[in-house]
């Protein structure tokens, strides 16, 4: 796997984790609330699926949601990078930087590093969906940087319809 692929996987992991508290049938749910489901969720994404990893990732999910909603400072995430290092490994074709971290904390570290990378390369692109009844987040890669919805098919159309109804009612 090259660096570019690894980055894409970690960014997808970050978005997935941020979006583990969706609203389904007008009810907020938490995909990590149940222990067995939460551990499966982690295992499916390359984690250890341990109880400790689940604990760390639940905390991180809550913390990183607060940071993206501007309710907490970015430095509140620094504790997830504790005892982490990157070491150079030279292979025949390239120099690779390998993450050294306790296995149960690897997933969380990857998520925080992905978040920090996005903050530098695409400032402001990671944000909550503009539909206030939706609890999902989006990563806006459009050049204009004007995406507002987690998905045009769901929230985008819903919000357009609502504005249209509001305008119609106002006439
Ligand atoms: Zn949405």
- For 12-44, write each residue's pLDDT tens digit: 999 999 999 999 988 999 999 999 999 999 999
Considering the domain boundaries, does residue 71 fall inside one?
Answer: yes
- Distance (Å) from CA 143 to ligand 1 centroid: 20
Query: Per the domain annotation, does 25 fall within a domain?
Result: yes
| Å from CA of 162 to ligand 1 middle | 14
In a domain, residue 128? The reply is no
Q: Confirm whether 87 is domain-assigned.
A: yes
Domain that holds residue 51: 3-121
pLDDT tens digit string along 50-108? 999 999 999 999 999 999 999 999 999 999 999 899 999 999 999 988 999 999 999 99
Res 164 pLDDT > 70: yes
| Ligand 1 midpoint to CA 77 (Å) | 25
Interval between CA 20 and ligand 1 midpoint (Å): 13
- What's the pLDDT score for residue 157? 86
As a whole number of angstroms, the distance between CA 28 and CA 61 comes to: 15
Residue 89's H or E segment, with its range, is: strand 85-90
**What is the CA(137)–ligand 1 centre distance, in A?**
7
Between the CA of 154 and the centroid of ligand 1 the distance, in Å, is 7
**CA–CA distances in Å: residue 96 to residues 3, 58, 157:** 8, 30, 44
Distance of CA 89 to the CA centre of its chain: 28
CA of 120 to the centre of ligand 1 (A): 24
- Do the domain assignments include residue 157? no
Determine, yes or no, domain membership for 126: no
Gap from CA of 97 to ligand 1 centroid (Å): 36
User: Domain count of the chain?
Assistant: 1
Contact, 31 vs 37, CB < 8 A? yes
| Contacts of residue 80, Cβ cutoff 8 Å, sequence gap at least 6 | 56, 60, 63, 105, 108, 109, 111, 112
Which pLDDT does position 163 carry in this prediction?
83
Question: From its phi and psi, is residue 96 left (phi > 0), alpha (psi between -120 and 50) or beta?
Answer: beta
**Ligand 1 centroid to 138 CA: how many Å?**
8
Asked if residue 38 belongs to a domain, the reply is yes
CA separation for the pair 170, 67 (Å, rounded): 37
Is 146 a domain residue? no
What is the three-class DSSP state of 41? helix
**What stretch of H or E contains 11?**
helix 3-18
Residues of the chain with pLDDT > 70, as a percent, come to 99
What are all long-range contacts of 44-50, with beta carbons under 8 Å and residues at least 24 apart? 45/13, 45/16, 45/107, 46/107, 47/106, 47/107, 48/103, 48/104, 48/106, 48/107, 50/104
Above 80 in pLDDT, residue 1?
A: no
pLDDT of 171 strictly over 70 = no
**pLDDT of 8 over the 90 cut:** yes
pLDDT reported for residue 2: 75
Q: Ligand 1 centroid to 82 CA: how many Å?
A: 33
Query: From the CA of 158, how far away is ligand 1's center (Å)?
Result: 9
Does residue 170 have a pLDDT over 80?
Answer: no
Judged against a pLDDT cut of 70, whether residue 132 lies above it is answered with yes
């Amino acid at each position: 796997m090259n660096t570019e692929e690894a980055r894409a996987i970690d960014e997808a992991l970050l978005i997935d984790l941020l979006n583990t508290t969706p609203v389904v049938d007008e009810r907020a749910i938490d995909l990590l609330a149940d222990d067995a489901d939460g551990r499966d969720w982690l295992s499916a994404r390359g984690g250890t699926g341990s109880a400790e990893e689940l604990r760390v990732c639940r905390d991180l999910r809550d913390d990183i949601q607060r940071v993206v909603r501007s309710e907490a400072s970015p430095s509140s995430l620094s504790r997830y990078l504790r005892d982490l290092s990157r070491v150079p490994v030279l292979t025949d074709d390239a120099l690779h930087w390998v993450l050294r971290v306790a296995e149960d904390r690897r997933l969380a570290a990857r998520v925080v590093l992905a978040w920090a990378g996005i903050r530098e390369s695409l400032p402001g692109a990671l944000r909550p969906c503009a539909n206030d009844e939706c609890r999902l987040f989006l990563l806006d890669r459009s050049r204009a940087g004007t995406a507002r919805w987690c998905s045009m098919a769901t929230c985008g159309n819903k919000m357009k319809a609502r504005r249209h109804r509001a305008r119609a009612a106002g006439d």
